Structure 1
């Protein structure tokens, strides 16, 4: 593939990952993600995340909203309860594509 086309695709891939990169760049959100990973497929309620992370309920809700808007976390409802979980088909998969593009560019340029 021509280098300018590779660079153009890489730039596009990078732009599509901007929201995800911003969301996972925050240490508090990383802590919440680690907690959700430990929870597995069942997900967790805000109160459970609060108890495990020692963050305030409003802080957890704020960061979950950012993670949800970035396409990393999803929520399902059981009656009035919301369960948050790491979406396995989330926008995090776009990072894989970005890294593959970076690797390809770096290997070719060596």
Structure 2
């Protein structure tokens, strides 16, 4: 018998990450940071995604809280960079739980 409660817990735990990856601007920021060797500042990111600086800052805050990016200071400038290892492990664990429940329930 499948343990759907485990799936619910896993999905709830990953809901924030799923939301981060589902939003177009945040995906654009992730791709921009992924293509950057040393990270990007808010000015660079704002130019790349073509939205206001406060909107970029809002997205960056959400992404930092979710653990998808981090920041280092370079004087008064903040440089943002990807930190995807743990978030991707969490998503993989969620998908593994869902797959196990589906297989246990006889799903395809």
Cα drift, residue 3 of structure 1: 2.4
Q: Which residue of 2 aligns with 1:32?
A: 29
- Runs (4 or more) in structure 1 with deviation over 4 Å come to none
SS at match of 1:75: strand
Q: For the aligned residues, what is the CA RMSD?
A: 1.7
Deviations 1:23-74 (A, max 9, x none): 222111111111111114x211011111222222111111111111122111
Q: Which residue of 2 aligns with 1:95?
A: 91
Aligned mate of 2:57, from 55, 61, 78 = 61
- Of Structure 1 and Structure 2, which has the larger fraction of its residues in helix? 1
SS at match of 2:78: strand
The whole-number CA distance in structure 2 between the counterparts of 1:106 and 1:54 is 41
Distance 1:70 1:45, change over 3 A: same
The whole-number CA distance in structure 2 between the counterparts of 1:68 and 1:106 is 32
TM-score by length of 2: 0.85
TM-score by length of 1: 0.83
Q: 1:74·1:87 contact (CA, 8 Å) conserved in 2?
A: yes
Q: How many residues align?
A: 106
For structure 1, which runs of at least 5 residues remain unmatched after alignment? none
